[in-house]
Amino acid sequence: MDKTAKIYVAGHRGLVGSAVLRALQAQGYTNLVMATHQEVDLTRQEAVEAFFAQHQPDHVILSAAKVGGIQANNTYRGEFLYDNLMIEANVIHSAYQHGVKKLLFLGSSCIYPKLCPQPMSEDALLTGPLEPTNEPYAIAKIAGLKLCENYSRQYGVNYISAMPTNLYGINDNFDLANSHVLPALMRKFHEAKLEGQPSVTVWGTGTPLREFLYVDDLADALLFLMHNYDAAEFVNVGTGQEVSIKELATTIKAVVGFEGELVFDTAKPDGTPRKLQDTSKLEALGWKAKTSFKEGVEQTYRWFVENYEHIRGKE
């Protein structure tokens, strides 16, 4: 991407989009196009087409999506399917209509089958049933990556897709009901510390293994792919390393400085025992994550404390 190229970051206020924006600005890109949901509703085809006609971006990074944790995914099933299908279909098709040189679509590791062999490699897609709780979101994301793949095959465009693992970091959603496990635990420990609570309870046994990627590392990987990858097939983005839920909770507890007890409610479900992505394809291209898990948690918590009164999820 030329430094003067016009780049549209869709979803620039979210966890991923804001990290992409930071990375672009750090690398000297200044011709950036952004729009809030109020300025352009990406679920409306007419609004998206008018936006592309007006701005004519050279490149698009599509990180806009309706996202949430297990509870949100399972509660708003119709919304998660409809909104995400509309966003990606409208943006990808308008990019094609207006001659966008390159587009990058963001997926999610939930696209893989529930009982996927570990670590999950790209060729495991569509080899088995999905996890029922987030099936609508997963189907929407699969449709998005297939749109990119097939627009590339039919029209000869350069539309690529990246599938990140579990993300966390600056500008995350800390809503206790609808956020993911890491930000939810960070807020729980922080507020337990402020209130002098004797303990914090974590669901399950603490034994499931998860992979976590610091969002600024993801942004670095996405810009790397924009420069170095042009194939229609999607690419996993992760660390290739696992952390148990117990290790996750213990690390956050230490970083926050909560001195009470950590309790595991073993009557509550554990979820999938293991969920690790195979990142060998991306590593073979020359990219690896740089931020250690503890370092990423420390940086996230520092930002969380500084922005506590205005974090997403406190409204």
Task: Find out whether 77 is annotated in a ligand binding site.
Answer: no
8 Å CB contact between 161 and 104: yes
Distance, in Å, from the CA atom of 184 to the CA atom of 248, rounded to the nearest integer, reads 12
- Does 164 belong to an annotated binding site? yes
Active-site annotation holds for 96: no
Q: Is 223 annotated as a binding residue?
A: no
**Is 275 flagged in the annotation as binding?**
no
Q: Check whether 281 is labelled as a binding-site residue.
A: no
In angstroms, the CA 310 to CA 306 distance is 9
Does 204 count as an annotated binding residue?
no
Does residue 210 have a known ligand-binding role?
yes
Residue 261: its H or E element: strand 261-265
14 is in an annotated binding site: yes
List, as one string, the DSSP characters of 152-178: HHHH--EEEEEEE-EEE-TT-B--TTT
68 is in an annotated binding site: no
Tokens encoding 111:
């696209």
Marked catalytic residue, from 8, 29, 96, 137? 137
Encoded tokens for 58? 């050279």
Residues whose CB is less than 8 angstroms from the CB of residue 37 and which lie 6 or more positions away in sequence, other chains included: none
Q: How far is it, in rounded angstroms, from Cα 152 to Cα 292?
A: 35
Q: Is 126 known as a binding-site position?
A: no
What amino acid positions are annotated as catalytic residues?
137
Binding residues: 11-17, 106-109, 141, 164-167, 180, 188, 203, 210, 270
Show binding-site residues for substrate: 188, 203, 210, 270
Residues contributing to the annotated binding site for NADP(+): 11-17, 106-109, 141, 164-167, 180
